[in-house]
Chains A and B, each alone.
Chain A
Amino acid sequence: MKTKLLIGLLASLVSTALFAADSPPVGSTAPDISATDSKGKTQTLSQYKGKYVVLEWFNPECPFVKKHYGSGNMQKLQEEFTGKGVVWLTIDSSAPGLDGNLTAEQANQRIAEWKAHSTAFLLDPDGKAGRTYAAKNTPHMFVINPEGKIVYEGAIDSKATANPADIASSNNYVKAALDESLAGKTITTPSSRPYGCSVKYK
């Protein structure tokens, strides 16, 4: 993993896991999360204050996730935006025993195989981070600005299918939100209906 950022081991305040029915709305302050990554380090959202952060909910068994990794679409986005100083956190909230649950070792193996370029791969087997954001889909995407506000949440793109052939003709909302934010423009689509498999919580 060619991460450019060092990750501190500082434990930050663990935010209360809100069991919210719905995701925190666009424009609201992004709640903090804390989880151990596949390298054994503790990752928090608050440590990245001052940077754009992307949260990506992940499940390697889900055909919608495979659509974007199998085609290289997700890796391309990760590479492009981490290259521009954006922090990209991939989060796996599948509970142990359920589909998509990965140990740190399995996660690292998967990252290597799929040539993922995210900043860190967070393991969230108790679903604490996932529930904080009411992440319901894989992939389910959030973009957080340097002030710590949510500026985009929803689907990765405009075509809710599992067919990789649809990627070329779809509008990638995450890319658009980041491009527009980085250029100082207003985000055209700040929210969309996420699509994918349900997150496998316990």
Chain B
Amino acid sequence: MIAWRRRAPAFFAALLLIGLHCAALAQTYEGRELVHASLVADSSAIVAGKPFTVGLLLRMAPNWHTYWKFPGDAGIPTEMKWNLPPGWKVGEIQWPIPLILKEPGDILIYGYHDEVLLLQEVTPPVSLTESTIKLSAEATWLVCEKICIPGSAKLQIELPVATQNASANDELFARYRRALPQNWPAGKVASASWKRNGAELQLTVESAALANYPVAEFFPLPEGNLVVGHPKTERGAGGRIDFRVPIETKDPKLASLNGVVVFGQDENGAGRNAWSLDRNAAAAATVAAPSGSLAKFLLFGFLGGFILNLMPCVLPVISLKIFGFIQHAGQDRRRILRSGLAFIAGIFAWFIGLALLLIILKSAGREITWAFQFTNPYFVLFMSAVVLVFALNLFGVFEISLPQSANRGLLAWTAREGEAGSFFQGVFATVLATPCTAPFLGTALGFAFTQSGWMIFVMFVAIAAGMSSPYLLLSAQPAWLRLLPKPGDWMLRVKQLMGFLLLATLLFLLWVLGAERGIEAVIWTACFLLALSVACWMKGAFLVPTASFATRALVLVLMLALVLASGFYFIGAKFNATTLVTGDSQTQGDWRAFTPERLQAELDQGHTVFVDFTAAWCLTCKFNEAAVLESSAVHDAFQRRGIVKFKADWTNADPAITKILKQFGRPGVPMYVLYPAGKSPILFPELLTQSIILDKLETISPDVAAK
């Protein structure tokens, strides 16, 4: 060491710098400032529980550079060691797209010149007692020009604690957020696949969008000790680009890398963009991407539509339709056919309408999914009202029918109100069907949603055909109606029973509202429903043909006044004022609220993670959770293996979650994914059993406790 001081005073100064715990933020070398480091926040104040972003701002002397997460052939990435108070969390560094820097000897490095901002999300705990908070971190970096000098700085940032905050350093953060690689786009924009050819990995990207850029490069992010050579880009026809990455590894199975595909007008030019290629997501997308012929998916759609008839949310309506058939058995064939066709038309009308709406939304660039309308609380509210009114009708509260004929009420829905009644019954049955995803349907829709608008349309027609197929058969072949039981008084009892089934559906809808908007929203909805019930009772009791015109007019006005007034007050004012419930507050037990960043952080630490993609309005999800995921066998199996459990709550259609559903080719929830440490994720079927989960867990990691 002493010899150096004589020989290399510069180095001695540099060594001093490493150990120097000074408040000064500048790294100097031979009297020159090489790196100026500071911490900046995108928020004027800290709000308890509210994440904000802190950036490490490094300003380098001209021609000097610091390094990217993967430095390339030489160099060391910048590191941050946070010293945070208990309860605080900090996310991974988000790295802006680096420059490619080439040195003689075919040395290629990834780094930053002049200035860089490395972003990290910081999450404060939910309660803070201090009035100001000082956050400190130690940044270490390597800065190189002709020579390399390690640098470090103990940095602090002090922010006041407040209940509200404003954004800060807008321009700086916006500039560097633009320079962050984006998530890999939908399959329709760019597909990615990996192939291993001996000592080379080949990434094939098919993207018409990329074809427009003269420069497209792959920046690898190899894990562990994997040695990677310099990726080469080969352009093919029709937007196909092959990136060849030489690798050196003992693992013969290694078939993909993390990295980013960087594209722009010129190398290192401003305005470059990048797509992040997550090895896990990409592998999963290729595994889970629906494959098969169009006919197969249409058949799945048809089968899914047929099975929808049996789903609990549809059964009450469907059973009434069956009653209609029973009632009409032996009647005029043409009349049966007409009523049946009207019902079917109702089913088709809803599905086609839904398909058109989805196509419009999709072309407007929105993420589309099955049952998306249930993510809107006002739709759920409307459905609650419809279901209640229908149930009251089944109970006989406001049957228009004459008292002596109990079955006339049914007729009112079918024969007497004619084809229009049948039509709306069809619509109603289908609307109620949407919160259920039947088997086959998920696969079929997952496929259709990645296709053109025309394909979505055809798929919905197939589902409608499947759902209406039993009625079509019964209408066309009334002889088969003989297989159904004879009409009788039992039908009245079944009808009332169905009323209760509808009330159960109502309970479910209210629970969905509660999950979306909280308990107050449920109470105000219930108040409105009470008023609505009274209006229905008034109609049933007083709005009868025997009453005088004056009475009827008065009752009608009172009814309308009641419904409108309660609507304005309970819904317009009170319900409207309730706020969205955030995913965090809904997580219970040992399930943690999901965010893509949290998932990544766990995976980076080498943990195995299970994610339950769920929504309050998803019945299949609730069934799976109660019967499988919360069962003691599965719960214990997770716990013994130390698997981290996340709940991704899609009740309010969180776009971050939508994106992940799409990566796996799924149109909606439920979706269950196991991310084994260091391996490709495993996608589970929509309907879970304990053995499916337990068997899979056994294959990824043996049960330690059982040994």
Q: Roughly how many angstroms separate A72 CA and B471 CA in the complex, as a whole number?
A: 87
CB distance from B65 to the nearest CB of A (A): 11
- The residue that B147 contacts in the complex, of A21, A22, A62, A137, with Cβ under 8 A, is A62
- The residue that A199 contacts in the complex, of B107, B149, B150, B227, with Cβ under 8 A, is B107
Residues of the A chain whose Cβ atoms lie less than 8 Å from the Cβ of B149: 63
- The residue that B76 contacts in the complex, of A93, A134, A161, with Cβ under 8 A, is A161
Q: Roughly how many angstroms separate A189 CA and B201 CA in the complex, as a whole number?
A: 21
With A19-B106, A61-B11, A163-B18 known as contacts, the answer to whether A198 contacts B248 (CB < 8 A) is no
Does the CB pair A202–B76 fall under 8 Å? no
Does the CB pair A26–B248 fall under 8 Å? yes
From B2-10, B281-289, B473-481, the one touching the partner chain is B2-10
CB distance from A130 to the nearest CB of B (A): 6
Which size class do A's interface residues fall under?
Answer: 35 or more
With A191-B227, A192-B227 known as contacts, the answer to whether A197 contacts B148 (CB < 8 A) is yes
Interface 0/1 of A20-57, CB less than 8 Å to B: 01100110000000000000000000000000000000
CB distance from A71 to the nearest CB of B (A): 9
CB distance from B222 to the nearest CB of A (A): 7
Does the CB pair B250–A66 fall under 8 Å? no
Does the CB pair B147–A60 fall under 8 Å? no
Q: Roughly how many angstroms separate A99 CA and B229 CA in the complex, as a whole number?
A: 25
Does the CB pair B225–A193 fall under 8 Å? yes
Q: How many residues of B contact A (CB 8 A)?
A: 37
The answer to the question of B104 belonging to the interface, with a C-beta cut-off of 8 Å to chain A, is yes
Residues of the A chain whose Cβ atoms lie less than 8 Å from the Cβ of B150: 63, 162-163
CB distance from A165 to the nearest CB of B (A): 10
Interface 0/1 of A142-166, CB less than 8 Å to B: 0000000000001000101111000
CB distance from B254 to the nearest CB of A (A): 13
Q: Roughly how many angstroms separate A63 CA and B75 CA in the complex, as a whole number?
A: 11
The answer to the question of A136 belonging to the interface, with a C-beta cut-off of 8 Å to chain B, is yes
Q: Roughly how many angstroms separate A110 CA and B7 CA in the complex, as a whole number?
A: 9
Residues of the A chain whose Cβ atoms lie less than 8 Å from the Cβ of B107: 136, 198-199, 201
Q: Roughly how many angstroms separate A127 CA and B4 CA in the complex, as a whole number?
A: 26
The answer to the question of B146 belonging to the interface, with a C-beta cut-off of 8 Å to chain A, is yes
Instruction: Give the nearest-CB partner of A63 in chain B.
Output: B150
Interface 0/1 of B41-74, CB less than 8 Å to A: 0000000000000000000000000000000011
- The residue that B105 contacts in the complex, of A60, A63, A70, A130, with Cβ under 8 A, is A130
Interface 0/1 of B62-104, CB less than 8 Å to A: 0000000000011110000000000000000000000000011
The answer to the question of B408 belonging to the interface, with a C-beta cut-off of 8 Å to chain A, is no
Does the CB pair B74–A98 fall under 8 Å? no
Residues of the A chain whose Cβ atoms lie less than 8 Å from the Cβ of B148: 62-64, 197
Within B222-278, the residues touching A (CB, 8 Å) are: 222, 225-227, 229-230, 246, 248-250
- Looking at chain A's contact residues, the main secondary structure is loop
The answer to the question of B142 belonging to the interface, with a C-beta cut-off of 8 Å to chain A, is yes
The answer to the question of A195 belonging to the interface, with a C-beta cut-off of 8 Å to chain B, is yes
Instruction: Give the nearest-CB partner of B79 in chain A.
Output: A161
Q: Roughly how many angstroms separate A154 CA and B228 CA in the complex, as a whole number?
A: 11
- Counting chain A CB atoms within 10 Å of each CB, which of B4, B18, B104 scores highest? B104
CB distance from A17 to the nearest CB of B (A): 11
CB distance from A129 to the nearest CB of B (A): 11
Does the CB pair B4–A99 fall under 8 Å? no
- Counting chain A CB atoms within 10 Å of each CB, which of B4, B18, B248 scores highest? B248
Residues of the B chain whose Cβ atoms lie less than 8 Å from the Cβ of A200: 104, 146
Does the CB pair B225–A154 fall under 8 Å? yes
Residues of the A chain whose Cβ atoms lie less than 8 Å from the Cβ of B7: 60, 110, 113
CB distance from B291 to the nearest CB of A (A): 36
With A25-B248, A191-B225 known as contacts, the answer to whether A66 contacts B106 (CB < 8 A) is no
Residues of the B chain whose Cβ atoms lie less than 8 Å from the Cβ of A26: 248
Does the CB pair A198–B144 fall under 8 Å? yes
Q: Roughly how many angstroms separate A199 CA and B108 CA in the complex, as a whole number?
A: 11
Does the CB pair A127–B105 fall under 8 Å? yes
Does the CB pair A99–B225 fall under 8 Å? no
CB distance from B464 to the nearest CB of A (A): 57
- Counting chain B CB atoms within 10 Å of each CB, which of A22, A195, A202 scores highest? A22
Q: Roughly how many angstroms separate A198 CA and B11 CA in the complex, as a whole number?
A: 17
The answer to the question of B697 belonging to the interface, with a C-beta cut-off of 8 Å to chain A, is no
CB distance from A168 to the nearest CB of B (A): 17
Q: Roughly how many angstroms separate A2 CA and B376 CA in the complex, as a whole number?
A: 82
Residues of the A chain whose Cβ atoms lie less than 8 Å from the Cβ of B14: 63
Q: Roughly how many angstroms separate A64 CA and B229 CA in the complex, as a whole number?
A: 22
Does the CB pair B225–A189 fall under 8 Å? yes
The answer to the question of B199 belonging to the interface, with a C-beta cut-off of 8 Å to chain A, is yes
Does the CB pair A99–B147 fall under 8 Å? yes
- Counting chain B CB atoms within 10 Å of each CB, which of A61, A64, A134, A158 scores highest? A61
- The residue that B106 contacts in the complex, of A21, A98, A193, with Cβ under 8 A, is A21
Interface 0/1 of B292-321, CB less than 8 Å to A: 000000000000000000000000000000
CB distance from A153 to the nearest CB of B (A): 8
The answer to the question of B619 belonging to the interface, with a C-beta cut-off of 8 Å to chain A, is no
Q: Roughly how many angstroms separate A118 CA and B271 CA in the complex, as a whole number?
A: 50
Q: Roughly how many angstroms separate A57 CA and B148 CA in the complex, as a whole number?
A: 16
CB distance from B200 to the nearest CB of A (A): 10
Q: Roughly how many angstroms separate A16 CA and B248 CA in the complex, as a whole number?
A: 24
Instruction: Give the nearest-CB partner of B3 in chain A.
Output: A113
Q: Roughly how many angstroms separate A70 CA and B1 CA in the complex, as a whole number?
A: 6
With A162-B150, A193-B225 known as contacts, the answer to whether A199 contacts B18 (CB < 8 A) is no
With A25-B199, A25-B248, A193-B222 known as contacts, the answer to whether A201 contacts B147 (CB < 8 A) is no
CB distance from B258 to the nearest CB of A (A): 14
Does the CB pair B225–A22 fall under 8 Å? no
Residues of the B chain whose Cβ atoms lie less than 8 Å from the Cβ of A100: 147
Does the CB pair A201–B248 fall under 8 Å? no
CB distance from B32 to the nearest CB of A (A): 16
- The residue that A201 contacts in the complex, of B11, B103, B227, B230, with Cβ under 8 A, is B103
Q: Roughly how many angstroms separate A63 CA and B17 CA in the complex, as a whole number?
A: 12
Q: List 27 interface pairs A-B (beta carbons < 8 Å), by A numbering.
A: A22-B229, A25-B199, A61-B11, A63-B14, A63-B142, A63-B150, A66-B11, A93-B105, A99-B147, A100-B147, A113-B3, A113-B7, A134-B105, A136-B106, A158-B225, A162-B142, A162-B150, A163-B18, A163-B150, A191-B250, A192-B227, A193-B226, A195-B75, A197-B75, A198-B103, A198-B107, A200-B104
Residues of A within 8 A of B (CB): 19, 21-22, 25-26, 60-64, 66, 70, 93, 95, 98-100, 110, 113-114, 127, 130-131, 134-137, 154, 158, 160-163, 189-202
Closest 4 CB pairs of A and B: A201-B105, A198-B74, A201-B104, A113-B3
